Amino acid sequence: MAPKRIYLSEKDLPTHWYNIVADMPNPPAPPLHPATKQPLTPDDLAPLFPMALIEQEASTERWIEIPSEVREIYRIWRPSPLIRADRLEKALDTPAKIYFKYEGVSPAGSHKPNTSIPQAYYNKKEGVRRLSTETGAGQWGSALAFACSMFGLECTVYMVKVSYQQKPYRRSLMETWGATVYASPSDKTEAGRRLLEQDPDSTGSLGMAISEAVEDAAKHADTRYALGSVLNHVLLHQTVIGLEAKKQMEIAGRYPDVVIASCGGGSNFAGIAFPFLQDKLTGKEPNVRLVAVEPEACPTLTRGRYAYDFGDTAGLTPLLQMYTLGHNFVPPGIHAGGLRYHGDSALVSQLYHEGYIEAKAVHQRPVFEAATLFARTEGILPAPESAHAIRVAVDEALEAREAGEERTILFCLSGHGHFDLSAYDHYLSGELQDVAYPQELIDQSLEALPKV
């Protein structure tokens, strides 16, 4: 009998992160200064990030060593298991073989500590006292709060207001780890107060919360900013997922035909996909497909524009060339809070633009249908964000059944849904609605793109 779970030992924990930039056919477009529109310099980023992370952001080295102090904390939950979803296969009556990499075993319950730990480490090493950040569903805020507790740093989190209200126990978790959490937009920053003047009932957005967190860091000399997705160094840290998964798939004796992950800012998708994409780019496995899945309510890759845009609402962050719905975009309050960002990673965006990866957008009711089927067959309650990948994995398995072909499917189950039960309540009671964002509102938001 084939093993249900494939584990690696601690000695198999990756010693280096993989940097996709080294194998990209075209160099990434440079980030631009928000005021001058000129390429950023390390000095421009110094008020926000420690120099080690700034160097990683611009690095073209293929392999970057993971510090021993970071690997020591990774050992709390890594390597994470690779699991064969054989009961799901049986329920779908499919010849496809479905595997998932389970990141919900981390202390924060998601993949996010893979980058929060090194970010806290590098900041601590440079004498930083406090980190500020934003969070949508609360997974990133929880991960940074956990990391700061590991390194004795203070942590301030600006949490998108709709998620602050929908997910109170995420806030409790952050506060248990010692973080201070504000509902964003808040009255704690100039950006927040300005947004509240415009709309006192604003439900918030990640762009708004980023504006507050960046302002907080820029105005306090002992504080730096930490970002949970989008930036190159964040995606770099997440590649431990795919590096482990490649070893585990070798043990399983299979190579995936398709690798699937949900995609908001891009860190979870990049984490599992980039090590396999290396095989595609170098010609080792030219036919492997990489699929990023996003919500129809925030269809960045599938309906956004490839252009330079701010990463935040107030226009404080560097300009990145990415797929964007416009930095003024305010998404509907869907339950997949971690996928409500207006833009995507510049690296993911470029690779999609050049045709190396695919993207699909799905509605939330089919997502929860797949999540419920997964919970009832595999026993794990997935986070709404992660369930987007399950939806497309199920669709791929059904396509394999219709075609009568065997297909090896790998997806990243990026986190558990234990803090998302209100979303499941809405689904099970029939109250959950599908939301397709109107094209005219996307067009209106895109009109405000900066002129570069």
Range of the domain at 352: 77-109+233-446
**Is residue 240 one of the residues assigned to a domain?**
yes
pLDDT at residue 314 in the model: 76
**Is residue 138 one of the residues assigned to a domain?**
no
Distance of alpha carbon 271 from the chain centroid:
9
Q: How far apart are the C-alpha atoms of 278 and 286, rounded to whole Å?
A: 10
Position with higher pLDDT, 107 vs 419: 107
pLDDT at residue 335 in the model: 63
pLDDT tens per residue, range 427-439? 999 998 888 788 8
Q: How far apart are the C-alpha atoms of 187 and 170, rounded to whole Å?
A: 21
Tokens read off for 452: 């570069």
pLDDT band at 334 (very low <50, low <70, confident <90, very high): low
pLDDT tens per residue, range 261-318? 999 999 999 999 999 999 999 999 999 999 999 999 899 999 999 999 998 877 878 8
**Is residue 89 one of the residues assigned to a domain?**
yes
What one-character-per-residue DSSP string does 415-429 give? BB-TT-HHHHHHHHT
> At residue 230, what is the residue type?
V
pTM, two decimals, is 0.95
pLDDT tens per residue, range 78-121? 999 999 999 999 999 999 999 999 999 999 999 999 999 999 99
Query: Tell me, what CATH number does 346's domain have?
Result: 3.40.50.1100
Contact between 269 and 292 under an 8 Å Cβ cutoff? The reply is: yes
pLDDT at residue 163 in the model: 85
pLDDT at residue 449 in the model: 92
Q: How many CA atoms lie within 13 A of 437 on its CB side?
A: 26
Paired sense of beta strands 82-84 and 5-6, if any: antiparallel
pLDDT band at 136 (very low <50, low <70, confident <90, very high): confident
pLDDT tens per residue, range 193-209? 999 999 999 989 888 89
**Is residue 46 one of the residues assigned to a domain?**
no
**Is residue 410 one of the residues assigned to a domain?**
yes
Q: For the chain, first and last CA: distance in Å?
A: 58
- pLDDT of residue 188 exceeding 70, the answer is yes
The neighbouring-strand residues paired with 99 are 84, 410
Contact between 368 and 423 under an 8 Å Cβ cutoff? The reply is: yes
Mean pLDDT, residues 369-395: 97
- pLDDT of residue 395 exceeding 80, the answer is yes
Q: What angle do CA 113, 109, 189 make, to 5 degrees?
A: 60
Mean pLDDT, residues 42-58: 94
**Is residue 246 one of the residues assigned to a domain?**
yes
pLDDT at residue 440 in the model: 87
Instruction: Work out how many domains the chain is built from and give that number.
Output: 1
**Is residue 331 one of the residues assigned to a domain?**
yes
- Three-state DSSP class for 158? strand
pLDDT band at 44 (very low <50, low <70, confident <90, very high): very high
- pLDDT of residue 128 exceeding 70, the answer is yes
**Is residue 65 one of the residues assigned to a domain?**
no
